[in-house]
Structure 1
Amino acid sequence: MSIMRLIAVTGCDSGLGWAIAARSAREGFITVAGMYNGVDTQAAEGLRELSAHPCLLDVTNPESIASFRDYVKSLLKENPNYKLHAIVNNAGVMTIGDYEWQTPAMIESAISINLLGTMRVTAAFLPDLRISALESTESSKPRIINVASHCGLQPLPGFAAYCASKAGVIAFTKALRMENLRHGLSAVAFIPGGFVRSSNIMAKQSAHGNDMLEHLNDEQKSFFKKRITALSNYLQMAAGSNAGYDSLRDENIIETFVKALTDDNPKDLYKVESWKYMFYYNLFKLPLPEATLGWLVKKFLTFPSE
Structure 2
Amino acid sequence: MSAPSTTAGLAPLVFITGASSGIGQALAERYARAGWRLALVARRATELQAWVEAQGLDCGRAAVYGADVAQIASIAGAGDACLARQGLPDVVIACAGISVGMDSAEREDLEVLRETLLINNVGLAATFQPFLRAMRQRGSGTLVGVASVAAVRGLPGHGAYCASKAGVVAYCESLRLECRRHGLKVVTLLPGYIATPLTARNPYSMPFLMPVERFAEQAYQAISAGSSRRVIPWQMAIVAKLLRLLPDPLYDRVMGRRGRKPRRG
Q: Does the alignment reach a TM-score above 0.5?
A: yes
* Secondary structure at 1:285 match in 2: helix
User: Equivalents in 1 of 2:44, 2:246: separation in Å?
Assistant: 45
The answer for the alignment partner of 1:130 in structure 2 is 136
The answer for the alignment partner of 1:151 in structure 2 is 150
1:105-157 residue CA offsets vs partner (Å, 9 max, x unmatched): 2111110000110111222221122223x2xxxxxx41100000111122222
- Give the TM-score taking structure 2 as reference length: 0.82
- Residue 296 of structure 1 pairs with residue 241 of structure 2: no
* Secondary structure at 1:84 match in 2: coil
Q: Residue 89 of structure 1 is aligned with which of 88, 94, 109?
A: 94
Q: How many residues end up aligned between the 2 structures?
A: 245
Q: 1:261 to 1:53 in 2, by over 3 A?
A: farther
Q: Is the 1:145–1:260 contact (alpha carbons within 8 Å) kept by the matching residues of 2?
A: no
The answer for the alignment partner of 1:267 in structure 2 is 227
Q: 1:18 to 1:120 in 2, by over 3 A?
A: same
Look at both structures and tell me which one has the larger radius of gyration over its CA atoms. Answer: 1
The answer for the alignment partner of 1:231 in structure 2 is none
The answer for the alignment partner of 1:21 in structure 2 is 28
% identity of equivalent residues: 24
Q: 1:171 to 1:286 in 2, by over 3 A?
A: same
Q: CA deviation at 1:68?
A: 0.7
Q: 1:201 to 1:92 in 2, by over 3 A?
A: farther
Q: Is the 1:149–1:166 contact (alpha carbons within 8 Å) kept by the matching residues of 2?
A: yes
The answer for the alignment partner of 1:65 in structure 2 is 75
- Residue 45 of structure 1 pairs with residue 7 of structure 2: no
User: Matches of residues 136-215 of structure 1 in structure 2 within 5 Å?
Assistant: 141-195=140-194, 197-200=195-198
Q: CA deviation at 1:202?
A: 6.6
The answer for the alignment partner of 1:137 in structure 2 is none
The answer for the alignment partner of 2:5 in structure 1 is none
User: Equivalents in 1 of 2:116, 2:52: separation in Å?
Assistant: 26
Q: Is the 2:102–2:113 contact (alpha carbons within 8 Å) kept by the matching residues of 1?
A: no
Q: Which runs of 5+ in 1 are unaligned?
A: 78-82, 135-140, 204-234, 240-247
Q: CA deviation at 1:296?
A: 2.4
- Give the TM-score taking structure 1 as reference length: 0.72
User: Equivalents in 2 of 1:261, 1:267: separation in Å?
Assistant: 6
Q: 1:54 to 1:279 in 2, by over 3 A?
A: same
Q: CA RMSD in A?
A: 2.6
Q: CA deviation at 1:23?
A: 1.3
User: Equivalents in 2 of 1:112, 1:126: separation in Å?
Assistant: 20
The structure whose residues are more often helix, as a share, is: 1
Q: Which runs of 5+ in 2 are unaligned?
A: 1-7
